[in-house]
Amino acid sequence: MDRLDAMRVFIRVAERRSFTLAAADLGLPRSSVTEAVKQLEARLGVPLLQRTTRSVSTTLDGEAYLGRCRRILGDVEDAESAFSGTEPSGLLRIDVHGTLARHFILPRLPEFLERHPGIEVYMSENDRYVDLVREGFDCVVRVGELQDSDMIARRIALLEEVTLASPGYLHRHGTPDSLDSLEGHVMVGFRSSATGGLLPLEFTVKGRRREVSLPTRLSVNAAESYIDAARLGFGLVQMPRYHAEVALAAGELVEVLTDFPPSPPPVSVLYPRNRQLSPRLRVFLDWLGAVF
Q: Which of 62-66, 109-113, 134-138, 196-200 has the highest mean pLDDT?
A: 109-113
pLDDT at 119: 92
Report how far residue 119's alpha carbon sits from residue 10's, in angstroms, rounded to the nearest whole number. 21
pLDDT higher than 80, residue 40: yes
* % of the chain with per-residue pLDDT over 70: 92
172 touches 233 (CB < 8 A): yes
pLDDT higher than 90, residue 256: yes
User: Which of 227, 113, 106 shows the shortest CA–CA distance to 162?
Assistant: 227
Which element (helix H / strand E) includes 87?
A: none
Per-chain mean pLDDT for the chain: 88
- pLDDT range class, residue 156, cuts 50, 70, 90: very high
pLDDT at 1: 78
Helix, strand, or coil (residue 253) = coil
Instruction: Report DSSP state, residue 198.
Output: B
Q: What domains are defined for the chain?
A: 1-86 (1.10.10.10), 87-156+265-292 (3.40.190.10), 161-256 (3.40.190.10)
Report how far residue 64's alpha carbon sits from residue 20's, in angstroms, rounded to the nearest whole number. 23
Instruction: Provide mean pLDDT across the span 254-259.
Output: 97
253 touches 240 (CB < 8 A): no
pLDDT at 280: 87
pLDDT higher than 90, residue 194: no
Radius of gyration of the chain (CA): 24
pLDDT at 203: 96
Task: Write the pLDDT tens digit of every residue in 140-152.
Answer: 898 887 776 678 8
Q: How far is CA 6 from CA 1, 28, 32, 40, in A?
A: 6, 12, 10, 7
How many other C-beta atoms can be found within 10 angstroms of the C-beta atom of residue 35?
14
Task: Write the pLDDT tens digit of every residue in 167-185.
Answer: 999 999 999 999 999 999 9
Instruction: Provide mean pLDDT across the span 208-218.
Output: 95
Instruction: Provide mean pLDDT across the span 259-271.
Output: 92
User: Which of 289, 271, 285 shows the shortest CA–CA distance to 137?
Assistant: 271
Helix, strand, or coil (residue 187) = strand
236 touches 186 (CB < 8 A): yes
pLDDT at 249: 96
H helices within the chain, ranges in order? 3-16, 19-26, 30-44, 60-84, 98-100, 109-115, 132-135, 167-173, 223-231, 241-249, 279-291
Task: Write the pLDDT tens digit of every residue in 14-25.
Answer: 888 889 888 887
pLDDT at 276: 63
25 touches 12 (CB < 8 A): yes
pLDDT at 46: 93
